[in-house]
Amino acid sequence: MNATQTAINVIEWAFNGLGPLPQGDLYDTPALSHPNQALREAMQTLTVIQAAQMYFGSAPFLGDKKPLGVGGALLAAAIGVLHWPESAQQLLKAVPRAHSSADWIIRHALVARVLPLLAEHSGHAVTHLRADLLLVSPLTALVNVPVASQENEMMTLVEQLLEQPASRRWLQLSLAKPTDNRAIRDWRQKILAQLRQTEQDSKTSFVLDVYETLMIHHRSVAFDQVGAARRVLRDPIAAASAQRLQEALSIAQWWQPLWALRRTRKEELRQRLYLDYQYLEGLKLYTLAQRLRGW
């Protein structure tokens, strides 16, 4: 076993989606900077599969002709030695910035696959590993919760993604999907709020697209959350639980961008076929939360 084979095994695991995370070693790590044919082919295969799953089409992905870099190889090898946290962290710090759409895609394929496994563990080492993984995978950070130092970069990335129909659609679907993770929900709401505040037609239209997508694909789950949050906010005993109260307030806050747009772009909302009257339940929840906060 060497670093190259470790990377290949992890990449194959990522696109096969089967079995436990492979473990390897980092013998001959410098070879990762000049991937051999087998490693290059594995990287290309994973990138193509992930791009198809994201509806990004075929190469050049998102119109970006820049080639796939070596960062994916280094990242895959680092994931293969997560059982040695210090070694994994050292290698992750050597991963260069993503410079192409292909880099974004392969890194998202790897990091999005491994994050749920890290969630099963706790401790400082796991926290640092998670942060280091997000730092090298912008797309994964964007649809989860970025490291604090990434936030400005994330909004720049959002603007880039909105320029291409395929990536705009992927982001729209990702932001519209309900989650039980409060930190992820709050971050996604922050993205929508910042886009709404620009008052630029293309960006406010995208915000409406996200809410309309929720109504099309996730109506039942979304309004189950709204109902649960409303019950907590109306029940003093339930609201006495700090955790339940914060969760309910988070769900309510997610509707704030749409509440604000209804005040400034009501006619545009009326033209949205799938933004029927049920969305008002979300806005009423937001108003209830504001009253309870004394705002």
pLDDT over 90 (residue 187): yes
Task: Report the pLDDT value the prediction gives residue 295, as an integer from 0 to 100.
Answer: 60
pLDDT over threshold 90, residue 59: no
How far from each other are the two terminal CA atoms of the chain, in whole angstroms?
Answer: 61
What number of other Cβ atoms are within 10 A of residue 58's Cβ? Answer: 8
Residues 226 and 285 sit within 8 Å (Cβ to Cβ): yes
Which tops the pLDDT comparison, 105 or 124?
Answer: 105
Q: What pTM was computed for the model?
A: 0.93
Among residues 77, 99, 104, 93, the alpha carbon closest in space to that of 23 is found at 77
- Sequence spans of domains, the chain: 1-150, 177-295
On the CB side of 133, CA atoms within 13 Å amount to 31
Q: C-alpha 2: how far from its chain's center?
A: 31
- Is the per-residue pLDDT at 14 higher than 80? yes
Confidence band for 183, pLDDT divided at 50, 70 and 90: very high
**How far apart are alpha carbons 50 and 101 in whole angstroms?**
12
Spatial distance between the Cα atoms of 50 and 110, rounded to a whole number of angstroms:
10
CA dihedral sign, ordered 274, 278, 283, 285? negative
What 261-268 contacts at long range (C-beta under 8 Å, 24+ apart), as own/partner pairs, is 261/196, 261/204, 261/207, 261/208, 264/199, 265/204, 265/208, 268/204, 268/205, 268/208
d(CA 91, CA 129): 11
Position 293 confidence tier, pLDDT thresholds 50, 70, 90: confident
Determine contact, residues 249/221, Cβ cutoff 8 Å. Answer: no
